Structure 1
Amino acid sequence: MSQVSTLPLTAERATDGELTGGKAANLARLAGAGLPVPDGFCVTTAAYHDAVDGTAVPDLVDRLDGLEPGEPDAADLGERLRSAIREAPVSERVRAAVTEQLSAFPADAAFAVRSSATAEDLPGASFAGQHETVLDVSGPEAVVAAVRACQASLFTDRAIAYRARNGIDHGEVSMAVVVQEMVDADASGIAFTADPVTGTRTVTTIDAGYGLGEAQVGGRVTADTVRVDERSGEILDYRVGEPEQAVRPTGGGGTERVPVSEADSTGRVLTDDQVLTLAAYGDRIESLFDEPQDVEWALADGRFHVLQARPVTALFPVPDGAPTDELRVYYSFGHRQGMPDAMPPFVLDYWRRLTDEVTAQFGIPGRFGAEAGGRLYIDITPYLARPRLRDLLFDRFEAIDEPMVADLRDLLDERADELPPVETDAVSRIRTAGSLCSRLAPRVAEMVVGLVSGLVDPDPLSAPVRTRRFYGARCDEAVGRIRAGADHDTRIRRAMNETAASLEWVFEEFYPFYAAMVARPLLERLCPDGRDDIEALVRGIDDDPVTAMNLALGDVAVVARENPAVADALRAGEEYETVRRREGGEAFAAALDAFLDEYGFRAAGEIDFSRPRYRDDPAPLLRTVRGLLAADTDESPRDRSRRLRARATAARERLRSAADTGIAGPVRRRLVDHLAAVYRGYFGVRELPKFGISPLFAETREQVLGAGETLTETGRLDDPEDVWLLRLDELATLLDDPEASVDLSDRRREFERHQRLRPPRFVTSDGEVPRARVERASDPSAALAGTGASAGVVEGVARVVTTPATADLEAGEILVCPYVDPGWTPLFLNAAGLVTEVGGRLTHGSLVAREHGIPAVVAVDDATARIRSGQRVRVDGDRGIVDRLE
């Protein structure tokens, strides 16, 4: 550790964040680049260690690292740490160094003293407002006291909680302090070099108010808000605020709030020239740090001063490789799959490669996959730029992600002219259309043949069983070829190739499903008053793989109920191995093992194959069984399915009877009967493609973990699970080259940061996310609007679940979750209703909700944040509304 206690901000070493902290290091870089930073110096982290070494602080920090934020002991330890630092004597060496630095300033100079922690103003953690700032400080003794107050603020309760949320060890941080000449500001504020609401990187947003910036930063006044287009230099809008007061230095130490004059309260804080000057400074600062910046500024005597600059951490990242000279639009692959969580680098790399390979199979050149925030995004710009393809895309998305279409329409209304140009002459259009038709014609022909075969199928009700048998056989063959690989790298690459190749036979057998989509509107035309009966046709489909899985899990619960000791152990939350040892435990274990033999390859969020499968960790299944045992009814899932199936049979008979009128009645009756069978039978195929290839995800997981275990045994990795932090080529290199190594510490922190991000449905190449959706989501008082996905109305107690692995959903509760994929659906056995943040009428959760006969509303913005567990809600699947009754 360096013994340098102070450094001028102009010193070369001042840019070392380990020595001067994040804030001071950034200011030093700004000063070195010639930006107008107030003169000052930094009291280094060496001075902090000088204060705490030999005190109780290190032991208290060790104890703090073992606690969760919010625990009473954490608050007590935080207070003890602050007291210990405040009470530590200031060494003569540090006091002399501070006094020497102050001697370079006028004797009556006033200073701003600000904390500068080593884990502050970082790309993943800004620590804005977490530490201490002391303004209008004069004289060596007052400055030293302010420095000590800032050092102690390393352990404010809010800073402790912030570090814990961001995975930063308390023992790894220390505190430096910045001392700068105080700027007696006429005006001050913040400039974001990106729009913090929409995320657009080409718009600078400025907040401006009178006096010192504490009034604006602390939210005590309504500041002027200005938006500037960075490309054209045009002021897009200037909204005058309503500043009733300003913060001014007292002149004798400290600050005070003073009223703003009537003239100032109604006029603009900044002139147009000042706005553009400030935006230009912002552009220079962003270029210096190569990412959007949050810049704190002050204006005194007509001159701007830069007081602070740090990364804007709340922005969702721009997709990698996105161009800066044209608008491109990227759609979330995770939202399309009903799993928008961040994926680790290996899985993300795998899916990106697979996406590009599959699009190449369709004859579409280029890279369509892009990474952003640990998610895969698909470039849909070529479809949006062409009106006919755009309409087809919107028609497709209406059924699976209705809010996405509304957002895209809003975006295109404003920015369609920024999309890359497409060919306009007739010859080019004909050539493009011909090329597209030649590539897609075989697929379209296969789809048409499949559709027709489904419509004329003499036994459509057996379609789910036939299709599942076909998928199972093809998947077994693929797994055999994977396992025949000679080494880890070969087997892993074969797994990816087999997954890509599987799409050929998956679609080949899936195309008849579209017969169900044709059968429904035909039934509605033939039976215009039979909509409720048509909806009832697709309930209780036992052969649907997800329903079949839930029924099989229900059978496990029946075995548990028949063995009281097992049931009591499950209700008590005992571990599986303990349950097995109870009386009747072997029968229960046999039932669970049979379930895992059939469905153990599945998992929640299963496209992320780094996640444990059910056979790896059956704990989520046991929680669902416990919920079934807690129900106040002896009706099993199979009993309920039989009831729904009987309703479907009765509905089919009513539709037949309604059609059997007039001379053509017998013909219509037979036609309606066949269409009802087609609709029910092929609707049960909807979930089979993902079910059919899920064993390949599980097999890929096994092969990658096998490689991780080998690398751990040879000392190349610390833990087999670390393999998920590698890229595909990096893993191959580590397996091949004993001398190769990869530093995973930064990558692990980055993945943890990505997991905390809330991903948008789509994002543009300049970072814009849907503005309309953000504004709608910010109104917490309104009823929550979404897309009605399963008819009916139900009231109940909400249970907010963010991961099914730890969910305890009791019978009759309303399941509120970010998304639903097949791994979530065991929870449907207990759910009375469903609310999700992601989805559409034809996505997985909607289909399963309809099959189970429970009301559902999907695509509800921020549902898991706006609804609380225990809150009583009404789910109206008819209108797409969720009312919070409490």
Structure 2
Amino acid sequence: MDNQQHGKHRQEDSTGPDVNGQVFIRDIADIRADMLPEVGGKAANLGELNAARLPVPPGFCLTTSAYRYALSAIGMEEIFALLQDAGASDLDELNRLATRARSLVLDAGVPTDVAESVRAAYRKLGDAAPVAVRSSATAEDLPFASFAGQQDTFLNVVGEDAVLDAVSRCWASLWTDRAVSYRTTNGIDHATVTLAVVVQEMVDSATAGVMFTANPVTGRRREAVIDASPGLGEAVVSGAVNPDQYVVDTQSNAILKRTLGDRQVEIRSLAGGGTERIERAGHTAASENHAAATENYPVEPCLSDDQIRALADLGRRVEAHYGAPQDTEWAIDSSGKLWLTQARPITTLYPLTSRVPATPGAHAFLNFSLAQGLTRPLTPMGLAGIRLIASSVARRAAFDVPDPRSGPSPYYEAGQRIFFDFTSVLRSKVGRAVVPRIFDIMEARSAAVIRGLFDDPRFAVAIKTPIRLIRHVAPVAAKYRVPETVLRALFRPDAAMKRQEQLGAELHQALRVPEGITAHQRIAHVQRILGEEVFATVPQVLPLPVLGFAMLGLVRKVLGEQAPLDQLQTVIRGLPNNVTTEMDLALWQLAREIREDPEALAFLGYPTLEELVQQFKDRELPAVAQSGLEAFLRNYGHRAVAEIDLGMPRWSDDPTHILGVVVNYLRLEHTSDAPDQQFAKAAREADEQVARLVARARAKSPLHAKLVRTALDRTRRFAGMRELPKYNLVLGLASAREQLSLVGAELAEAGRIELAEDVFFLDLNEVETALAGNKLHQLVADRRADYAQELRRRHIPRVLLSDGTEPEATAAGGSPASPGALSGSPASAGVITAPARVILDPVGAHLEPGEILVAPSTDPGWTPLFLTAGGLVMEMGGPNSHGAVVAREYGIPAVVGVPDATLRISSGQIITVDGAAGTVTTTPGDAPG
């Protein structure tokens, strides 16, 4: 039986009567994906499925033209305007406006000429045919957001009048509270969203449900997950029943898992129209009294093995048609015929890598973006810059890199974030020993995920000697004289510091650009800086902070239990030579100078932040504020939030964040809590702790004392320099950005792109194409849309396998230490109880002094907020990640690596951060959501 043979034949005429050229009716058989503005997402998908000769019940669609025609004179314009001004957090106002809109739509009803079109189309389906009347919004079932369940569906509707009533209610459901709130939150203009209505013949299903063609929990692309229950699929879709669940390996067609549901609810069609809900009280598939339970309702699978495999095969066909995993709805009628009633993209799946590994077999990719404290995506040019830097590293390590602009072979991108293929690390005995330990201090949860892959037979150890590693590390160590740098730092620390100053001067000289160069020469400058100059500083700087932290380990070995970890942690508080803390304290000093100037203080306390920024750009701030900010930006204007992305504006480009932080600092009134005082106090406590540890060593012998004193001196001198390699990297990125901005201005003036900053949504090859004369407006628009879509993504995997699996999702999660507690990694000792402030983006963020900052991750662009924070909670990071180190230096309690902290903690919630225990708890009766 084909699609048109179910029930009655398709309509002879695919369109109904029209008014002023507006088409009100489209047959599903005539609908295609590009008709979404006319028929909405659901109908467009159904038309596509039908065109692919998939088993879709026949029917018709009442177009968006009919919706607009019906609502053209009922006064919705005022509601559109009011919704435009309402914020996503103003739920009361949103709900009030939604109620007004629904009333207007329902009161208007279906206009006579539209109603006649519906009646005529319905009659062609047969005399009193049972149909499903389903909403199909233009902002529904889209690739970037699934609006499933936002609008209403009416099942088993019988009769023309009943269909018209259902149509009116579908229109009104576009204005439910949840739909209005969802659109507002996702930034969708309410005035642009319209609704079509699908009317399809009902499948009087014996069994129905949903099927994901990829596993939505683990991300595994080769597993179909099928939920099934007797009766109509509404019971499964609405969550009214715990369905049977079947997992199928779509490559081998093997059924991997069967889980039987409780069957407590079943929804069935009623004769004459409508549905009934059948509840089977007391039944549970896991009942202890299994015999008693099954006597009334046998616990048997809803689907046979043949039906399960037939569904999986159908899912493969649907996915093949769309070229992406799909969330489908299906039904099996009383004759055993399988029907497809919907398909939409699975919007929650994290994207696969943008290219496929050259070698076959399973591959594991480590999220380098998260290791850098970056959860947001990178711009296309930002990714292009990282590819050049990665290629520079790989070439220095004697790897073959045919095209530096494409990146080295281990470099990958997924979801506009940076990943590295670390399969060889997992298969290496040395790699397994070293890399997880590095991540223990960088990003502790990533380390746990890495170790979780050790037992996977696909990543069994195959490289048992360090020869290959030495072959790649030795050239770098030799070229940049790493042993000499370490020995100099150990025995001539002052000379080591002078060498670092010299390296900084050499880098600044290398970044200079001659006057009057061409756009192509600017591109060549970017290629040289990122592909050659920037990395050279890393192996010459990094050994110093590594030595500094290694010396702590030496002291631990020498003193044993007399040097507990919490006391060693005190040693690395208030560290000198940290460019990031120096920056933060310089900004605090500026705020203090402004506070002491009545004119500047009064001025900064009055205008809005936007006005302040404009006044600064116009050089109209009071002298103390104007000159102080200019001096700060001369030194640190190359920095930014998410600064490893050269596509992100630098503070010198947009000082909004810095001005906002200064205003925030002015709110900190208690001098005892002043950040500079806290930092100085931390440094004194560190010196005192060093003296105590040296005294304990002296009790062993004078030699022990000298060894411990020297080791801790090197720790204090060099550990703070851990920020310097990245600081130098960011200098290079800022220089590259400056040149690309000039190229962008030239392209915009020539009409090749619209705005100068559009250049950061291209890569270097595409910029050269634009310089050659091509106009790239559409490409930029597409890239901006993709970037905006990724900005909304909250869940970012730490590790991604080549089949889409997220190992962290497949591992059993640990339980909190106590009810209401969230667990993470201890980062900075201390306990504080205070209100939480959840901040996802530091730009323009407001943090009251003493509040606990709760963030997804942090990089140096966040650290000015640390000076007024009472504590820190981060979703990412390890004990030695950037945020943890800075928190220790400022002496604020911190816990990092807390899963979903920004979702489970709310702003204003009173929480307790125990930085030594690694826990975050709420006060009684105030548990995390």
Offset, 1:374: 1.9
Deviations 1:731-752 (A, max 9, x none): 2222220656534333322211
Aligned to 1:587: 624
Contact 1:705 1:720 in 2 (8 A): yes
Quote the Cα distance in structure 2 between the aligned partners of 1:126 and 1:186: 27
| Pairing partner for 2:798 from 743, 761, 770 | 761
| Pairing partner for 2:306 from 256, 261, 273 | 273
Offset, 1:488: 2.8
Offset, 1:20: 2.3
Distance 1:338 1:804, change over 3 A: same
- Secondary structure in 2 aligned to 1:806? coil
Quote the Cα distance in structure 2 between the aligned partners of 1:846 and 1:612: 25
Asked if residue 748 in structure 1 is aligned to residue 767 in structure 2, the reply is: no
| Pairing partner for 2:370 from 332, 335, 340 | 335
| Pairing partner for 2:49 from 8, 21, 30 | 30
Q: Which amino acid aligns with 1:191?
A: M
Contact 1:620 1:804 in 2 (8 A): yes
Offset, 1:14: 7.8
Contact 1:561 1:567 in 2 (8 A): yes
Contact 2:208 2:233 in 1 (8 A): yes
Which runs of 5 or more residues in structure 1 are unaligned? none
- Secondary structure in 2 aligned to 1:155? coil
Contact 1:355 1:369 in 2 (8 A): yes
Q: Which amino acid aligns with 1:37?
A: V
Contact 1:467 1:688 in 2 (8 A): no
Quote the Cα distance in structure 2 between the aligned partners of 1:124 and 1:513: 43
| Pairing partner for 2:185 from 165, 179, 197 | 165
**Aligned ranges for residues 380-529 of structure 1 at < 5 Å?**
380-413=422-455, 415-417=456-458, 419=459, 436-445=469-478, 449-450=483-484, 452-454=486-488, 456-459=490-493, 466=498, 469-481=501-513, 483=514, 486-501=517-532, 502-528=534-560, 529=562
**Aligned ranges for residues 595-674 of structure 1 at < 5 Å?**
595-635=632-672, 636-661=674-699, 665-674=701-710
Contact 1:197 1:771 in 2 (8 A): no
- Secondary structure in 2 aligned to 1:834? strand
Contact 1:833 1:854 in 2 (8 A): yes
Aligned to 2:345: 311
Contact 1:355 1:368 in 2 (8 A): no
Aligned to 1:732: 768
Deviations 1:464-497 (A, max 9, x none): x53652343123112214x557223431342243
Q: Which amino acid aligns with 1:199?
A: G
Aligned to 1:720: 756
**Aligned ranges for residues 294-373 of structure 1 at < 5 Å?**
294-301=327-334, 302-322=336-356, 326-365=361-400, 366-373=408-415
Distance 1:189 1:573, change over 3 A: farther
Deviations 1:96-151 (A, max 9, x none): 43333323333132100111122221211221011121111112222223223223
Quote the Cα distance in structure 1 between the aligned partners of 2:200 and 2:517: 65
Offset, 1:444: 4.1
Distance 1:397 1:416, change over 3 A: farther
| Pairing partner for 1:553 from 587, 604, 619 | 587
Distance 1:524 1:334, change over 3 A: same
Contact 1:352 1:376 in 2 (8 A): no
Aligned to 2:290: none
- Secondary structure in 2 aligned to 1:21? helix
Quote the Cα distance in structure 1 between the aligned partners of 2:517 and 2:43: 55
Asked if residue 816 in structure 1 is aligned to residue 854 in structure 2, the reply is: yes
Offset, 1:179: 0.8
Deviations 1:759-789 (A, max 9, x none): 1111111111134588649989541111112
Asked if residue 858 in structure 1 is aligned to residue 892 in structure 2, the reply is: no
Aligned to 2:141: 121
Aligned to 1:700: 736
Distance 1:450 1:817, change over 3 A: farther
Distance 1:54 1:639, change over 3 A: closer
Q: Deviating runs (4+, > 6 A) in structure 1?
A: 421-424, 577-584, 777-780
Offset, 1:702: 2.1
Distance 1:775 1:221, change over 3 A: farther
- Secondary structure in 2 aligned to 1:607? coil
Contact 1:243 1:265 in 2 (8 A): no
Aligned to 2:419: 377
| Pairing partner for 1:4 from 7, 12, 23 | 23
Residues 47-56 or 665-674, more deviating: 47-56
Deviations 1:841-882 (A, max 9, x none): 221111111222222111111111111122222222222111
Which runs of 5 or more residues in structure 2 are unaligned? 1-19, 284-292, 401-407
Distance 1:422 1:684, change over 3 A: closer
Q: Which amino acid aligns with 2:687?
A: T
Deviations 1:706-740 (A, max 9, x none): 23333333333333333322233222222220656
Contact 1:566 1:582 in 2 (8 A): no
Offset, 1:514: 2.4
Query: What is the Cα-based RMSD across aligned positions, in Å?
Result: 3.0
Contact 1:628 1:810 in 2 (8 A): no
Offset, 1:31: 2.0
Aligned to 2:320: 287
Contact 1:5 1:46 in 2 (8 A): yes
Q: Which amino acid aligns with 2:593?
A: V
Quote the Cα distance in structure 2 between the aligned partners of 1:553 and 1:872: 29
Contact 2:388 2:530 in 1 (8 A): no
Quote the Cα distance in structure 1 between the aligned partners of 2:461 and 2:621: 69
Quote the Cα distance in structure 2 between the aligned partners of 1:583 and 1:344: 33
Contact 1:98 1:144 in 2 (8 A): yes
Deviations 1:341-364 (A, max 9, x none): 112222123323432443233222
Percent of aligned pairs with the same amino acid: 37
Distance 1:658 1:859, change over 3 A: same
Offset, 1:623: 3.5
| Pairing partner for 1:680 from 685, 692, 716 | 716
Contact 1:130 1:159 in 2 (8 A): yes
Distance 1:861 1:451, change over 3 A: farther
Deviations 1:813-853 (A, max 9, x none): 22111111111111121122211111112211111112222
Contact 2:445 2:876 in 1 (8 A): no
Contact 2:94 2:181 in 1 (8 A): no
Q: Which amino acid aligns with 2:430?
A: R
Q: Which amino acid aligns with 1:477?
A: Q
Quote the Cα distance in structure 2 between the aligned partners of 1:765 and 1:238: 25
Contact 1:516 1:683 in 2 (8 A): yes
Offset, 1:300: 1.9
Residues 83-92 or 798-807, more deviating: 83-92
Distance 1:772 1:751, change over 3 A: closer
- Secondary structure in 1 aligned to 2:491? coil
Offset, 1:171: 3.4
Residues 797-806 or 358-367, more deviating: 358-367
Quote the Cα distance in structure 1 between the aligned partners of 2:819 and 2:127: 55
Deviations 1:528-577 (A, max 9, x none): 31334433222222321112112212211221221244334445564436
Deviations 1:359-380 (A, max 9, x none): 2332224522222212121111
Distance 1:833 1:101, change over 3 A: same
Relative to the length of structure 1, the TM-score reads 0.92
Relative to the length of structure 2, the TM-score reads 0.88
| Pairing partner for 1:47 from 63, 66, 74 | 66
Aligned residues: 872
Deviations 1:299-319 (A, max 9, x none): 221222111111101111111
